[in-house]
Amino acid sequence: MKRILPVLSAVIFLSCNVFATNFVKISRMTNSIQIKTPFGEVETYKNLDDIPEIIYGTKILAAGGTAEIKIFNTASITLEKNQEIVIMKHPVTKEIEVMKTESKTKSPQNAQIKVWLADHVSASFGSDTKVTFFERYPSIIFGVKKGEAVVKGTGGKSYTLVHGESYEAKQNIVR
C-alpha cells in the first residue's frame, strides 16, 4: 500500500502535462499522416476528425502529402511529404520543443521545416536543430536550443538564430 500511493500521486500530478491538446493540434493535411506515440504505437490517419489527442514525445510524419501543425494557435509548422518531427514539452519552462527527425529510408526533397509565427513571420530549421515555442500573449517566442534557424522578420529582414537566441513575433490583436 505504501508503494502504490506515491505512484498514484505521480500519475495524477503528471497526467495534466502529458497531453498537448490545448497547445498542439494538427489543423490541415492533404493526404495522410503517421503518428508514433512514445509507447511505440504507429497509426496512419487520413481524416482530421480521427486523429486522437497528441501526447508529448509523439512523432508526426507527413506520409502522403503536406500537414500543418498549429502550436498555441499562434505558430504553425508545415511538414512536406516524408518530413517528420517530434514534439516535446520542457518540464520546467513549459516551452514546446520541436525537433526534425531524419528517416533513413525516405528522403524529403526539401530538408528545411517551414514555420509561420503570428501569421506574418516565416522561419525555417533543419535536422540538426531543436526549436522552442513559448506564448506570452500577444507574442509568440521562437527560440533555438540546438543548431540554427533562419527567421524572416517584418520588413524582410533576415535573422540567423543560434543556440540560446530567440525571436519574438507579436500577434495582430486588432483584427
Residue 108 has pLDDT above 90, yes or no: no
pTM over 0.85: no
Give residue-wise pLDDT tens across range 141-164: 999 999 999 999 888 899 999 999
Q: What angle is formed at CA 127 by the lines to CA 121 and CA 129, rounded to 5 degrees?
A: 60
In which residue are the cell numbers 518530413 written?
A: 83
- Residues 37-76: tens digit of each pLDDT: 999 999 999 999 999 989 999 999 998 899 999 999 899 9
- Comparing 173 with 35, which gets the higher pLDDT? 35
- What percent of the chain shows pLDDT beyond 90? 62
State mean pLDDT over 122-147.
93
